[in-house]
Structure 1
Amino acid sequence: MPIGVLVNGGSVVLGGILGCVLGKKLNQEFQEKLQMVFAVCSMAMGITTIVLMQNMPAVVLAMILGTVLGHFCRLDHGIHKAAGGMQKAVFGIVGSGRKSSPEEMDILLTVIVLFCASGTGIYGSIISGMTGDHSILMAKSVLDLFTAAIFACSLGLAVSLIAVPQMVLFLLLFFCAGIIYPLCSPEMIADFKACGGCIMLATGFRMVRLKMFPVADMIPAMILVMPVSWIWMTYILPLVS
């Protein structure tokens, strides 16, 4: 049973609701301070997985090819459009005619990537489906609960709706884990986690608006990194070692 996936999705929904309720009671300065703390947590989670990297050239190549693929597929534009639809749906439900500002849309994009495309969530879903160990997703749920609450203070209930695509993706990975995991070597898993860590690190920079990395366009790298890692170890590494 995908307990970890369900708890993670529930934490996002609950965090979004709490943020809407408490949003008026938390001043802007306090919210900004907590966002910086969450950004540091995202960076720390990214760094702890990046250091597990086994084949740096393979991860670098996957990151480059994945970003190029995401750019030409206009993945950033597609996620922005989906985020806009989520905002409109929420505003229609609550009866508000307010339009989202470009800054809000950019923040929502960052939050979508943080919740749905983190290496921790994707890897945790696969481990949960393969071994029944939900500890990784449980740890992620704690961070997601408070992160969702803070971002919901400014974005509203749209944050809670992010749980829908998140759970669809994680449930798909959970049920496919029996097929995916046995095909992966420990080195491929480590490179996969490192790739996710790079995206998590870039997401942290976006959260503090220090550098607006194209995190949405980087997502295809998560798909490419395992095949690239396998090709590198099987065909290229024996030639250069």
Structure 2
Amino acid sequence: MMGTVVNALAIVAGAFLGKFIKGGLPDKYKDVVMQAVGMAVVIIGISGALRFTGIDPKVLGVDPMLMMVISLVIGGIVGEWLKIEQRLDSMAAKLQSRFAGEGTFAQAFVTASLVYCVGAMAIMGSLESGLSGNHQTLFAKSILDGITAVIFSSSLGIGVAFAAIPVFIYQGAITLSAAALKGILTPPVIEAMSSIGGVLIMGIGISLLDIKRIKIGNLLPAIFLPLIYELIRRML
């Protein structure tokens, strides 16, 4: 779990540094930073979503684009039924009332949580950490997340620091169940999950730019549908 612990601490440290920087920035600069972050997140999401182009349909057993569309639709329906977005907002609101007074706390918490948990590095790094004790991938992710936390916190606020909680739970769960997941999380499945995650990150960027508020939380189940599909395919 060392890699996950370091990752969570890096997010907290980066968030508090960003909070310190934010305090000295005039509003006009905060707006520019916010727009820059939003555009950067959109580009990161697009690059991640395009991962499906490198997936071999024969190995995956289905057309990657078709899997992406079906996963997003089914995942969105499941997430809406489970009210994931509403529960995330509720959790963030409780944390805000207890630890902070910023109006952007919920947005900071949800946005940072999704960005840090979605992606191949989170999955692969956690697997490596659990299977071989190799934490190098998660250490590299910690540096990236810490830098991102500074940027996010400087524009969105201290809610970013609390994203360390879902990161710790998510990556910790993968690390602890690495042996059971090793045979299922093949490279094509990880690529499929990452490409769907890229679409969600792109949606986060769109929301940050105030173009359209997308309920990204309700789309979260879509990321795990390639994993479920692979499990069912092996059972059949």
Consecutive unaligned residues in structure 1, runs of 5 or more = 92-97, 236-241
The offset of 1:124, in angstroms, is: 2.9
- 1:179 corresponds in structure 2 to 180
Aligned to 2:88: 79
Amino acid in structure 2 at the alignment position of 1:192: M
Maintained 8 Å contact 1:38/1:147 = no
Q: 1:153-210, CA deviations, whole angstroms, 9 ceiling, x for partnerless residues?
A: 3544332122122112211111111111123444333322322232233223333333
Residue matched to 2:19:
20
For the aligned residue pairs, the C-alpha RMSD in angstroms reads 2.8
With over 3 angstroms needed to count, the CA separation of the structure-2 counterparts of 1:61 and 1:37, relative to structure 1, is closer
* Equivalent in the alignment of 2:214: 213
- 1:65 aligns to what? 74
Report matched runs for 1:42-53 at 5 Å: 42-43=44-45, 45-47=47-49, 49-53=51-55
Cα distance in 2 for partners of 1:45, 1:128 equals: 26
C-alpha separation in 1, matches of 2:160 and 2:46: 23
Residues in 2 aligned to 1:229 and 1:90: alpha-carbon distance in whole angstroms: 41
In the alignment, structure 1 residue 115 sits paired with structure 2 residue 116: yes
**CA displacement 1:66-110 (0-9 Å, x = unmatched):** 11100011111000001111212212xxxxxx4x43x55334322
Q: Distance in 1 between matches of 2:23 and 2:146?
A: 18
Instruction: Work out the CA distance in 1 between the residues paired with 2:128 and 2:205.
Output: 24
Q: Tell me the amino acid that sits aligned with residue 211 of structure 1.
A: K
Give distance in 1, aligned partners of 2:156 and 2:190: 35
Which range is displaced more, 220-229 or 182-191?
Answer: 182-191
Q: Which 10-residue stretch deviates more, 167-176 or 137-146?
A: 137-146
Deviation at 1:114, TM superposition (A): 1.5
Match of 1:163 in 2: 164
Q: 2:47, 2:175 → 1: CA distance?
A: 21
Please, which moves more after superposition, 60-69 or 42-51?
A: 42-51
Q: Which amino acid aligns with 1:81?
A: S
- 2:185 aligned with 1:195: no
Q: Is residue 52–residue 193 contact of structure 1 (8 Å, CA) maintained in 2? A: no
Matches within 5 A, 1:96-115: 98=101, 100-101=102-103, 104-115=105-116
1:8 and 2:7 matched: yes
Aligned length in residues: 226
CA distance in structure 1 between the aligned counterparts of 2:163 and 2:232, rounded to whole angstroms: 35
Gaps of 5+ in 2: 58-62
Q: Does 1:137 align with 2:138?
A: yes
Q: Judging changes above 3 Å, is the alpha-carbon distance between structure 1 residues 207 and 140 closer, same or farther for their aligned structure 2 residues?
A: farther
